[in-house]
Structure 1
Amino acid sequence: MNDRDIRTALRAHLESATLSGAIIRDELGLCLGDTRVDIAVIGHTLAGFEIKSDRDRLDRLPGQIDRYSQVLDFATLVCGPRHEAKASAMLPAWWGIWVADDRDGQITFQPIRGALRNPSPDPYTVAQLLWRDEAMAALRLRGLHRGLSSATRFRLWERMADTMSIDDIQRTVHAAIMARPDWQACS
């Protein structure tokens, strides 16, 4: 059972379990592309699933935990049985853990612990999921756009982080992603 096998089964599982209208994306870039979450489910929240098959190593996991924890509302590690104990010790308590198991060619997922809501996402890093025009529109809607007509996206994200609550930023990001015409929603 390799990463591709787990990914295919996980995507099918998420598509069958996800509410209509949510978006499922493979390799969603976070932190300005510094890292990519294997599968993201975007709806009223942003949930990320990181896959570590028994063939993978866990040496990148601490950095992924740090970056995912800045952005995701919910995070779940989906791993092979070999990694369960070691990964459990590495993950923050709010992360979920599912163990992938191959039974006669059928991959199933055993939840070890459910994901809880991220207690401390970073407003600036969450805002980075917005395209420049989406950030400007969010600021304009709230009357916070004055003096920013030619500002960089970095400055717009900074203004959002300085003037908007994390809940408002998250709602804005989720709505903007859902409204992107080239991103497909589950039906």
Structure 2
Amino acid sequence: MNDAEIRLALINWLKQKKIPPQKILNEITISDGLARPDLIAIYSYSHCYEIKGDNDQIQRIVKQFIHYQSSFKKNTLVTTQKHLKKALKLLPDFWGIIVAIIENETIKFKYVRKSSHNPFYRKDVASKILWKTEMQQLLENKDISFRSNSTRNDLIDLINTSYTSYELDQSICLSLLNRKVS
């Protein structure tokens, strides 16, 4: 099974869950372009899904997961039986792991462990998901003034001091729900 096959099946599976995501985004750039998770599911919180198919190198998750866990409230690796043993060794316990298996020529998903609270969420890193105009809107929503020539980093600093972790994740989710992408 490759990434593309798993991705399509995963999107369909997530949409059919008892509580489906409000929106699923593909490969949104995060951490100033340093990472790009396969899927971001927007619930009442942000949830990153990274896919590692049979042909992928599971070791790459080590470089990626630092960015993901800094940016999202929950994180889950979706992988195959081939990579499961290694994934269990590489990922912290709060990461979810789902294994993709083929049953009757259909890809099915089984939880190995569900994701839990991510203790490494960072407001400054999570803010980088937002476009500059979205950052400005967050500040305007709280009546926080900023200069028109403020840089993204200036805006991130203001957001960091003005929003709680919970408020920021909620606001990022709302921004992503309203984002128009072609």
Asked if these proteins are the same fold (TM beyond 0.5), I'd say yes
Match of 2:91 in 1: 91
Q: TM-score, normalised by structure 1?
A: 0.89
Distance verdict in 2 for CA 1:112–1:76, change over 3 Å: same
Q: Is the 8 A contact 1:94 1:118 kept in 2?
A: yes
| Structure 1 residue 124: Cα displacement | 0.6
**In structure 2, do the counterparts of structure 1 residues 18 and 31 end up closer, same or farther at CA, with 3 Å as the change threshold?**
farther
Q: Which amino acid aligns with 1:157?
A: I
Provide the residue aligned with 2:165 in structure 1.
Answer: 166
Name the counterpart of 1:38. Answer: 38
Residues 51 and 77 of structure 1 are in contact (CA less than 8 Å); yes or no, is this contact kept in structure 2?
yes
TM-score, reference length from structure 2: 0.92
Residues 1-187 of structure 1 aligned to structure 2 (within 5 Å): 1-17=1-17, 19=19, 22-146=22-146, 148-180=147-179, 182-183=180-181
Residue 34 of structure 1, CA deviation: 1.3
Aligned letter for 1:154? Answer: N
Which fold has the larger relative contact order, with Cα–Cα distance below 8 Å and residues 6 or more apart in sequence? 1
Q: CA deviation at 1:183?
A: 4.9
Q: 1:12 to 1:91 in 2, by over 3 A?
A: same
Q: Which structure is higher in helix share?
A: 2
The answer (yes or no) to whether the contact 1:139–1:160 under 8 Å persists in 2 is yes
- For structure 2, the residue ranges without an aligned partner over 5 or more in a row are none
> Aligned equivalents of 1:80 and 1:33: distance in 2?
27
Using a 3 Å threshold, how does the CA distance of structure 1 residues 19 and 51 change in structure 2: closer, same or farther? Answer: same
Q: Is the 8 A contact 1:135 1:156 kept in 2?
A: yes
Q: Which amino acid aligns with 1:93?
A: D
Q: Give the letter for the 2:149 counterpart.
A: S
Separation in 1 of the partners of 2:23 and 2:97? 22
In the TM superposition, structure 1's runs of 4+ consecutive aligned residues that sit over 6 Å from their partners are none
Alpha-carbon displacement from aligned partner over 1:3-57 (angstroms, at most 9, x marks no partner): 1111111111112227467111111221122111111111311111111112221
Q: Deviations over 1:135-159 (max 9, x none)?
A: 112212323224x222012210111
How many residues of Structure 1 are paired with residues of Structure 2 in the alignment? 182
Percent identity at matched positions?
27
Could you tell me how far apart the structure 2 residues matched to 1:122 and 1:21 are? 22
For residues 52-74 of structure 1, the C-alpha deviation after alignment (integer angstroms, 9 at most, x for no partner) is 11222122110111110100111
